Structure 1
Amino acid sequence: MDKPSFDKHPRPADADGPADAAPALRASDVDRDRVADILREALGEGRITAEEHAERVGAVYAAKTVGELEPLVRDLPAPVAGAAAARPAEAPARPAPASAGAADTDNVVAVFGGASRKGRWRVGRRTNAFTLFGGVEIDLTEAVFEYPEIVINVTAVFGGVEIRVPENVTLRCGGAAVFGGFDVKAQEAPEANAPVVVITGFAFFGGVDAKPRRGKRLKDLRAAG
């Protein structure tokens, strides 16, 4: 499928986002997450439809260079100054790990089958879950959190992804569904330094279900670590 080109309203030259001066520069996960945040805001404000959001988010996480990312938000306003820093500021007391105990990125893939991450495992900064005519289970209730915020990017095509988190973490959603469901029971943890789990991506004729598991608390697991 050809990458969409959205260039009706060019963005200001000083807008936060991929730099026009280096279109061939390889895109990082930070670059992709920044663009995904802009798209999520645009969806919430009604600037783009759920279908457009799903299409663009799919292109975001398939992009290899910053030049491929820029057209996806060219017709959208720049984020409010300081907004990008607001989310990390909510959990300042939880530092990044001193050692690389967990891989930065983990890929969970299920094609005509099933895949899972559960039990006592170290969750990285980012987890990509892809399912095609299959199912993925991601259970964080016994996982070791080493980052203040983790992102689970989901692509569910004729399949399902189930995500469970401890009841005392913050859970946020930035995904959408087309002919499917993207059900995330968002919540804000009472503790200021609680980890943040952000679910992004899209479901096409598929389903995503993410919610806290009652009775499973992160502090209990830290005591055992």
Structure 2
Amino acid sequence: MSDDLPEMRASDAERERIADVLRDALADGRLDLDEFQERLDSAYRARTRGELVPLVRDLPQHGEGDAAGKTGQLAKTGGQQNAPGPSLRKGRRWAERIGGTATSRWGLGVMGGFGRKGGWTVPRVFTGVGIMGGGELDLREARFEGRDVVIRCFTLMGGVSVTVPPGLGVEVRGIGIMGGFDSSADGLGDPDAPRVVITGLSVMGGISVVRKLPREEKRALRMERRERRELERRQRREERGLGRRPPRGGHGGPHGGHR
């Protein structure tokens, strides 16, 4: 990615292209899953192009087809280039995940816990309460009752963990008293993605919000990594085989051999 115009505000398209570079690096084995997740979170939190640059500076750029290369071109052309989105992003199909009847509208954990995960339908307003307990909300494979969702979390000596996928718009507004709300996953999402506002109050507890890849995307990345490694192994075997072949014409001199 180019260092031109570092103070210019980053666009959603540029964040997604950086995310695509990071996915390629994970598939190549250049990043482990923890470092990939950390950089991906930073990409979605980035406000300017200058914040995006360090995330891919140590990763290879593959020319015109590479996401970082495309973002660099955007910096030079003023953002007029329209590039196709990453293949994994296309698999999210947000429009198909909006609509339907909410699975549940509240969760309660008193000296215990509650959980919502998998293909559940998130209501327009969900309320989670944890008193000396808490809950886990996983939105990676969820549907959404509407495009705008509010998750209200109230905890006393407890906590709630919210897991969101890349591309989902997230805004954290909660208040923590002797506790806190983690806003590290804050960020604009895909243009057609739902927007989730996480708010509430935490006393002597906390609310954590993290971005993680859906299981399908993780499997796709692992499969792509295996395929690339197998292709590299085949190429190395073929190169070694070519290197062992004798040159054409045998071992004789330029006139056909010795008399």
Q: TM-score, normalised by structure 2?
A: 0.44
Q: Which has the higher strand share?
A: 1
Structure ID, larger Rg: 2
Structure in which a larger fraction of residues adopt helix = 2
Q: Using structure 1 for the length normalisation, give the TM-score.
A: 0.50
